[in-house]
């Protein structure tokens, strides 16, 4: 299993992003099933749609939202059930430079047995037992 981060999804959906080609290569592997199901935390979904709307336009953001929600390879993960655990995780990882959304990714990854995170955020490398993709 792999958890998707905003930086990865924004790079994939933005051809002008410096990481777009690397994100496209990882996406091919993801669609091929290399990591099994990809977990998409609700908070990441919110960030991605918001960033795409701001950098491009609302129709582009709606198209990305619909693509993510229809993707067979992606499981949408509501964050309510993980909220209090995320608060605890955030207390431990905030000093490492991770955001609250990042803390949710770590919490969901640990609870769901997903050791991989698709990200371009190097701060995840500071978290034990997390493998960054691409590495």
> What is the token pair recorded at 98?
């991770």
* Burial call 89-102: b when 16+ CB within 10 Å, e when fewer: bbeebeeeebbebb
For 80, other C-beta atoms within 10 Å of its C-beta total 7
pTM for the predicted model, two decimal places? 0.94
Are the beta carbons of 18 and 57 closer than 8 angstroms?
A: no
At residue 135, the pLDDT reads 79
Per-run averaged pLDDT (10 residues), the chain, 135 residues: 97 94 97 96 98 95 97 96 97 93 97 96 91 92
- What would the DSSP string read from start to end of 20-52? HHHHHHHHHHHHTTTTSSEEEEHHHHHHHHHHH
């Amino acid at each position: 299993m792999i958890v998707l981060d905003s930086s990865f999804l924004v790079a994939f959906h933005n051809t002008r992003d410096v990481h777009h080609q690397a994100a496209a290569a990882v996406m091919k592997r993801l669609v091929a099933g290399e990591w099994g199901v990809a977990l998409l935390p609700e908070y990441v979904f919110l960030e991605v749609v918001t960033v795409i709307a701001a950098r491009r336009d609302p129709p582009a953001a709606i198209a990305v939202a619909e693509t993510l929600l229809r993707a067979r390879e992606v499981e949408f993960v509501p964050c309510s059930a993980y909220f209090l655990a995320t608060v605890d995780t955030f207390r431990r990882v905030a000093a490492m430079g991770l955001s609250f959304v990042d803390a949710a990714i770590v919490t969901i990854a640990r609870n769901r047995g997903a050791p991989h995170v698709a990200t371009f955020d190097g701060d995840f490398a500071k978290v034990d037992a997390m493998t960054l993709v691409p590495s």
